[in-house]
Amino acid sequence: MANARRELPGAARLVLDIEDRPGPPQLRFEATGNGRLTAIRQGERPVLLGALTGDGCCHDLHLHRLDGYRSPLPPIESARMRSEVNWVHQYARWLEASGQGPWYDGRWELSPRTVFEPAVWTADFVRDWPGGLLELYCGGGWHGILPLRRLCEPDAARVKAYRKHVRDGTLAPVLLWWAPSLDGWLILDGHDRAVAALAEGRTPPCVVLTRLRDEELWRRDAEEMTEGHRRRMERLAARPATPGTERQRAAMEQGYGRALADLPYEPSGIRTWPLPGGAPAWRALARAAMFQFPGD
């Protein structure tokens, strides 16, 4: 089990400083040297293959997912969902004990989320299996949800049981992993719960796992921000005092305070490990997958 020092920035979210897990984690991103061929691997098993095409700020990521993904959380019983549970803390405990998740050394945040942009769970929710195409842009691209296993049908028995929890307001949240390189989220746990919520016309309740910037990085930025704020306030103080300059001073102080408070909780990129065997190994995996799914 990893050592985790907990920070408590608010009642709803939890920040953990993971130690003694230098990586690579069981669930990890891998890529070839030029980054054009990518994979997600869980243990020794690849669960996703990706190939990047395009240039500049416009890229298409062609995906092929493979069977075998395992959730880092244990099955959640119906009785537990109907009990009083702090899901953020419960998921943190399960992730700490699990050997199947994406954690490696650094700061990670778990936070609840119930509101998303309109297209996230509709047009940008990848329902097709096993293939997929993500359009990525420098200025903000795909911003959707990618399942790591095949979705069940809304009328499947398991999904029907979850749909009752949706109607009762007792559905356990879906666990998402924010992946900045994809500009979107991966479903780590709760595929069937997500289908159940959507079948009932609801946005699935979620807990989002996010890798945060390391402390030395945000403290460096905080020092630079503080110095810039000091210079701006000195220039403002040199002007004649008027009601307008007072309002500007108050607004600048307020903006500085908000920006400084947000710095420790800004997302960081997810580390990518070298893909074992490089491009030849990736192509061998892709050939095997295309043989299994020739129409993909």
**Which 3 state secondary structure label does DSSP give 15?**
strand
pLDDT at 126: 96
Same domain, residue pair 163 and 288? yes
Which one-letter DSSP state was computed for residue 43?
T
Contacts of 246 (CB under 8 A, 6+ apart): none
Residue 37 and residue 179 share a domain: yes
Residues 158 and 243 reside in one and the same domain: no
pLDDT digits (tens, 9 = 90+) for 153-199: 999 999 999 999 999 999 999 999 999 988 899 999 999 999 999 99
Domain count, the chain: 2
Enter the pTM of the model: 0.87
On whether both 100 and 221 belong to a single domain, the answer is no
Residues 260 and 271 both lie in one domain: no
115 shares its domain with 135 = yes
User: What is the per-residue pLDDT for 292?
Assistant: 53
- Residues of the chain whose pLDDT is less than 50? 1-2
Whether residue 62 is found in the same domain as residue 157? yes
What is residue 1's predicted lDDT score, i.e. its pLDDT?
42
Contact 9, 254 (CB under 8 A): no
Q: What pLDDT sits at residue 228?
A: 87
φ and ψ at residue 5, rounded to 5 degrees: -90, 125
User: What's the confidence (pLDDT) of residue 258?
Assistant: 84
User: Strand order of the sheet with strand 58-65?
Assistant: 131-137, 58-65, 45-53, 37-42, 27-31, 272-274
Nearest to 192 by CA among 75, 33, 286, 57: 75
pLDDT attached to residue 59: 84
- 251 with 177, same domain: the answer is no
Q: Which of 209, 170, 169, 174 is nearest to 195 (CA)?
A: 174
Distance CA 109, CA 265 (A): 8
In a shared domain, residues 195 and 228: no
d(CA 53, CA 135): 10
pLDDT of residue 8: 56
H/E stretch holding 167 reads: helix 157-168
Helix (H) or strand (E) holding 106: strand 106-113
Query: Range of 21's domain?
Result: 3-212+267-292
CA distance readout (Å), 167 to 76, 109, 113 = 17, 29, 18
